[in-house]
Amino acid sequence: MPKLPPALPGLPVLGHIPQFVRDRHALLRQGYKMLGPVYSIRLGPKPVAVLIGPEFQQFFFSETDRALRMDTAYEILAATLGKVAFLASKETYQEQRPILHAPFQREKMVRYVQIMQRVVQDWIDCLGSEGEMEISGEIGRLVQRVAGYTLMGEAFQESVGAEFWELYGALGKALNPAIPPNWPIPANLRRERAKQRMAKILAPIIAERRAHPERYDDFLQDFLQTPGRSGEYADDATILGLVRALMFAGHETTAGQAAWTVIEILRSPEYRALVQAELAELMPPHSEIDGNLLRSLEHIYWAVREVERLHPSADILMREADMHLEIGGFDIPKGWLVMVSSAVAHRIPELFPQPERFDPLRFAPGREEDRQHRFAMIGFGGGVHKCTGMNFATNEMMVITALLFSQLEMELITTDTHVQYGLGAVRPSATWVRYRRVA
């Protein structure tokens, strides 16, 4: 008889779907507290084994693309974005991996950081000398613009960028776990129309870039010019799928954690003083931000890392068991979903004392709580599919924080910011900030 993980009691048919939709963090934390690091929930008919803690997370990441598969676990995303990269079979993923990774070579980061500084500075300049803003939405749009310029280039962003992002929004609205993605309901039909329009916008742009590759230097160009593992170049449909997948993987995640970074620093006067002292010393007005300067801004880096711990945007990751597994003394049958949750794992008090507290100095020399285990922090995943955009996102969150705190005096108007769940990343609820320009 297999020894299944202990099950959290749930409803007869729906299982834990209502609780999962309402407040999945509370549900998953309750399971961990009641049943320990390996337990199960049910999402409708589908059993899900939940694994919490560094050793189990290590198992999850090292078994991915072996005993655990990613494509079937994220099927609903594949219907929306396309069966590409991490949403495709492991063979297709291996073929496309060099293409997916091409834009992230270290030497390209210099230019991306310049673009980030320019776009963020333009935004701050448009804010005027004082006012009020809803920081979560503002940063969402800012991150879109950075993505537009780096992913697709200036000409694209300035001509069709706005329409492209609107179409991308229609894709997100069709993500619904309760309804099969091929049912002809209005949201699914709008998604298909949006995909067709995106393909139509992109076709002449791709043709122009194939004709004049020397004129362009952005992610899209790297996708076009990098052969897959077999030596073959990707076709237009694959390129469009990769663009959509990157927009999905990089946009809301970065926007959420960047907004939380600003909000948490504003909530913590002592830490804000440390950030401001660091900026006053190391980043005089009109400094050009580069890798060296970013590396010297330790307090901002620790704040960004603490937000990854406390408010991870990618709060749950999923796989499907491709064979029978044994873990932590339990059997997990083939076909079960397997889940890890950074939102629960990053608050294990034995690893991160006073886990609810925003305390970036836990990463400072002498404490370095994240170094206790390679898989203690999993905000950017781990193993072969670890986030390709991690450095890009970290730099972007640091550039936003550094420029905002060196040029604006800010105070929170909204004081009860909470997590807002979506089907993709989680992000902070609408948060108003009053600001005054000081530099």
Q: Quick check: 379 binds ligand HEM (CB under 6 A)?
A: yes
Q: Quick check: 120 binds ligand HEM (CB under 6 A)?
A: no
- The residue (of 108 and 272) whose beta carbon lies closer to ligand HEM is 108
Q: Quick check: 381 binds ligand HEM (CB under 6 A)?
A: yes
- The residue (of 104 and 192) whose beta carbon lies closer to ligand HEM is 104
Residue pair 431/263 in contact (Cβ under 8 Å)? The answer is: yes
Tell me the window of 246-254, 264-272, 360-368, 430-438 that interacts with ligand HEM (CB under 6 A).
246-254
| Beta bridge pairs of residue 133 | 433
Q: Which residue has the tokens 């655990």?
A: 68
- The residue (of 336 and 435) whose beta carbon lies closer to ligand HEM is 336
Tell me the window of 162-170, 208-216, 245-253, 288-296 that interacts with ligand HEM (CB under 6 A).
245-253
Residue pair 242/234 in contact (Cβ under 8 Å)? The answer is: yes
Look up residue 148 and give its DSSP letter: I
Sequence-ordered list of residues with C-beta below 8 angstroms from that of 427, at least 6 positions apart, any chain:
136, 140, 252, 255, 256, 259, 260, 313, 419, 420
Q: Which residue has the tokens 């909470």?
A: 418
Binding residues for ligand HEM, total number by CB under 6 A:
21
Q: Quick check: 261 binds ligand HEM (CB under 6 A)?
A: no
Sequence-ordered list of residues with C-beta below 8 angstroms from that of 246, at least 6 positions apart, any chain:
147, 151, 219, 389
| Beta bridge pairs of residue 427 | 420
- The residue (of 328 and 383) whose beta carbon lies closer to ligand HEM is 383
Look up residue 232 and give its DSSP letter: P
User: Which residue's Cβ has the minimum distance to ligand HEM?
Assistant: 389
Q: Which residue has the tokens 């001509």?
A: 159
- The residue (of 117 and 253) whose beta carbon lies closer to ligand HEM is 253
Look up residue 65 and give its DSSP letter: T
φ/ψ of 130, rounded to 5, equals: -160, 165
- The residue (of 107 and 411) whose beta carbon lies closer to ligand HEM is 107
The binder of ligand HEM chosen from 112, 392, 405, 435 (CB under 6 A):
392
Q: Which amino acid is at 13?
A: V
Q: Quick check: 387 binds ligand HEM (CB under 6 A)?
A: yes
- The residue (of 268 and 388) whose beta carbon lies closer to ligand HEM is 388
Q: Quick check: 253 binds ligand HEM (CB under 6 A)?
A: yes
Q: Which amino acid is at 128?
A: G
The binder of ligand HEM chosen from 380, 399, 424, 427 (CB under 6 A):
380
Interacting positions 99-118 with ligand HEM (CB under 6 A): 100
The binder of ligand HEM chosen from 388, 406, 417, 431 (CB under 6 A):
388
Q: Quick check: 241 binds ligand HEM (CB under 6 A)?
A: no
Q: Quick check: 254 binds ligand HEM (CB under 6 A)?
A: yes
- The residue (of 322 and 331) whose beta carbon lies closer to ligand HEM is 322
Q: Quick check: 96 binds ligand HEM (CB under 6 A)?
A: no
From CA 190, how far away is CA 79, in angstroms rounded?
A: 13
| Angle value at C-alpha 198, between 313 and 226, nearest 5 degrees | 75
Tokens of 334: 């083939």
Tell me the window of 152-160, 233-241, 365-373, 384-392 that interacts with ligand HEM (CB under 6 A).
384-392
Query: Residue 44: how many CB atoms within 10 A of its CB?
Result: 14
Residue 201's closest CA among 146, 245, 160? 160
Q: Which amino acid is at 291?
A: G
Binding pattern to ligand HEM, positions 304-323, x when CB under 6 A? ---------xx--x------
- The residue (of 353 and 422) whose beta carbon lies closer to ligand HEM is 422
Q: Quick check: 393 binds ligand HEM (CB under 6 A)?
A: yes
Q: Quick check: 389 binds ligand HEM (CB under 6 A)?
A: yes
Q: Quick check: 56 binds ligand HEM (CB under 6 A)?
A: no
The binder of ligand HEM chosen from 20, 39, 56, 86 (CB under 6 A):
86
Element holding 43 (H helix, E strand): strand 38-43
φ/ψ of 325, rounded to 5, equals: -125, 155
Q: Quick check: 358 binds ligand HEM (CB under 6 A)?
A: no
From CA 284, how far away is CA 272, in angstroms rounded?
A: 17
Q: Quick check: 228 binds ligand HEM (CB under 6 A)?
A: no
CA torsion angle for 159, 161, 164, 170 (degrees, to 10)?
Answer: -140
Q: What is the contact surface with ligand HEM in residues (CB under 6 A)?
A: 85-86, 100, 246, 249-250, 253-254, 257, 313-314, 317, 379-381, 385, 387-389, 392-393
